[in-house]
Structure 1
Amino acid sequence: MKRRARAILCGFTLVLAACSPIVTVHGYVPSDADLAEITPGTDTIETVAQSVGRPSSTSLLGNREWYYVQTTIEQFTYNPPEVTDRKVVVVSFTDSGVVEEVQTYGLEDGRVVNLSPRVTPTGEERAGALARIFGSLLNFDASSFVAN
């Protein structure tokens, strides 16, 4: 009787464990208290780097914007992972390196962008290895045989 009760208790525990999500957090976003210490118009790139750290992403052109991104993902047992929270903090700088503004965005501010994994193949990708080797070896034109 005790074995049966123990087995039922173990089975029930496994079922409950399977129902709890696996939560993973990727990235880093400074706390609200740290962000409150950043003062637009007075803080610079160096002071922001010292107080909250450097971001993992910056703007493509120059060092005008810093992006701090944190994503929370939940996954239940056999279901695909689902993004449950995303926070993006953008610190904008002027050309002289002074903080212009600090903006915070959430998951509700974003929009879904469908990316296509398809890639247009080039002619070389379709050709086999031997076709590429022999094609380049036997690629002559008449002007290469005529002396100038």
Structure 2
Amino acid sequence: MHLFKATVIAAAVFTVTACSERFRNHGYAPTDGDLAEVAVGVDTRDSVIERFGPPTTGGVRTDSGIYYVQSQFRLYAYQAPSEIDREVVAISTDADGVVSNIERFTLEDGQVVALSRRVTDSNIEGVSFLRQLLGNLGNLDAGSLLDDA
């Protein structure tokens, strides 16, 4: 009977802890207090990186700006993780590397910031393998087959 009670208690504890929500933080974004120390028109890209560390990502061009991204995800039982909070701090710089603007975006702002987008169009969507294979049969050139060079 003692073993049965211990098993029931262990199962109850396991069930309760398995269904509790957990939170996971990713990245880093400077606080408003930290950003108040950055002087627009005075500080440079290098001084910002020295103060806050390397950015999460940067612009395509080195003089376009740097971005610090911080996200919080909610993990609950078997469900896929959901992002509940995101902050993106965008520090724009001019061609000389001097800070020209500081902006903060959150999920509530509804601003979509595409940090990386690489799309390659294959032009074969909806075409089966057999159709691709048979489609090349008509593209043979008799001159290239008979050429001895």
Q: Same fold (TM over 0.5)?
A: yes
Distance 1:84 1:12 in 2: 29
TM-score (norm 1): 0.72
Which runs of at least 4 in structure 1 moved beyond 3 Å after TM superposition? 1-5, 125-128, 141-146
Residue 98 of structure 2: aligned partner: 98
Alignment of 1:1-148 (within 5 A): 1-110=1-110, 121-122=123-124, 126-127=128-129, 131=133, 139-142=140-143
3-state SS in 2 of match to 1:15: helix
Amino acid at match of 2:124: T
Amino acid at match of 1:45: R
Query: Percent identical across equivalent pairs?
Result: 29
Residue ranges of structure 2 left out of the alignment (5+ in a row): 114-120
TM-score (norm 2): 0.71
Distance 2:128 2:54 in 1: 43
3-state SS in 2 of match to 1:46: helix
Residue 65 and residue 112 in structure 1: after superposition, are their counterparts in 2 closer, same or farther (change >3 A)?
closer
Residue 8 and residue 84 in structure 1: after superposition, are their counterparts in 2 closer, same or farther (change >3 A)?
same
Residue 5 and residue 52 in structure 1: after superposition, are their counterparts in 2 closer, same or farther (change >3 A)?
same
Write the deviation string for residues 80-111 of structure 1: whole angstroms up to 9, x where unpaired. Answer: 22111111101011222111121111110125
Amino acid at match of 1:122: I
Residue 111 and residue 89 in structure 1: after superposition, are their counterparts in 2 closer, same or farther (change >3 A)?
closer
Amino acid at match of 2:58: T
Number of corresponding residues: 138
Deviation at 1:50, TM superposition (A): 0.5
Distance 1:13 1:68 in 2: 39
